[in-house]
Structure 1
Amino acid sequence: MTEREIRKYIDRLNNGKASESIFTRQISENVDVAKVWKKQPKMTDDIIGNFSSYRFFFIKNEFSKYVGAVLDMEDDLHWYVNPKSRKKGYLTTALKESILPYLFYDERKSQRITIEKNAIGEKNYLNSKGVALKLGFKAINEMETEFELKQIDFNWDNENLEEINPVTSPERFEELRKRAFYAYKILYKISDELLMTVSDDHELKEVADEVRQYTHKIADLEWANKKR
């Protein structure tokens, strides 16, 4: 993923235009974990078997403005900070206080990162390498482009997780219930067509009925959320 794309997601969050593509949850005062949808689903989308959303950590400054992001690729982390917010400690603080603890609490035994001088330039390479070394990452190749930090070697002294669920309005819960019911009707319709054309839907109707139950399950989640 390019820096331009990541900047676009940061701008969306700051402009309040991310409600349908970025879903965030606070894990500390200055960091949100998020699921990011690169594109909205469409009926014309090609069928691909390995589709997934992206998991990001978005970093905020002391004024609650988003200034950076870390893309979690599991076997690598790709981080970016807006130019005007660099060299102020936002990235290092976010990684040591919440992002790395969050990943290690999620039973990740080690974390690797790749820092390519040819890709980001000498200055950015040295800055990113400096951040990595401060956090305890160690180079694992001669070129010092690959670094690793094991969970057992991580310094937990600065861990400062504070997870808070965002507020979801009754109107949003109702919208999600309607979408679940729409998905049920689409699957039901596909099942009917298959039953008429090839006499077998491979139990798709049962899947549709299970999806329908989510209209009630979402209502249950809303009720539980109100009681908190």
Structure 2
Amino acid sequence: MTGACGPKPIPKAAPFSDLRCPWRSLVNGTPEAPEQIIYIVDDDEALRDSLVWLLESNRYRVAQFASAEAFLEAYHADMAGCIVLDVRMPGMSGLELYECLRERHATLPVVFITGHGDVPMAVSVLKKGAVDFIEKPFSDRDMLKLIEQCLATERESRSRVRQDAVVARRLDLLTQREMEVLELIIAGRLNKQIADDLGISIKTVEVHRARVMEKMEANSLAELVQSVMTCEAARGRFVD
């Protein structure tokens, strides 16, 4: 399964803005956030219908799938929301689907629906990153509480990734020399030290530094460093 589910490798020379950015559509230069949808994946039609009614009655958007394979075929990286996933299903199980999604670096939070005998199994996936599990039979209140928890988690994660995408696009605007200056700034080097390291004048360092600040839209050195160091796409280059 690993071969079929695994992501394609990203070339080392890929621009920062190409690295695991889930949203490609842009509005005024900012990634457009997709709408949150609750994806129900369960082979039990009656349970799916019941959950759809509950969630739509509470003004959630819902999509349902009768099998893990059907969801996997429809899955794409732009999806936002959460997954309500049955542990046991014919064919690909919920656990197998979850592992496959992890291999694809999916960020959708998952709530597992379990029977009594599946609780130890569900606990094991919590350690791998699933948000929670809910045991059948469950109350509407408990399900709605878990759903809202999942959506809040996903919104927070999406906000971080969106900011990463903005910073990554700004990094792509830097010239090679500006990137070298930025690396030395991140390393804590002073202008004179940067000039010595690169074999250029202090005045030239100041010019490059000003351009870096402008392109990165940073109002202070602290803001510049923080924006770069919190950008996942940039950590591999700027963090040893």
**Which TM class, normalised by the smaller chain length?**
under 0.3
Tell me: higher relative CO, structure 1 or 2? Use CA pairs within 8 A at least 6 residues apart: 2
Which one has a bigger Cα radius of gyration?
2
TM-score, normalising length: structure 1: 0.23
Higher-helix-fraction structure: 2
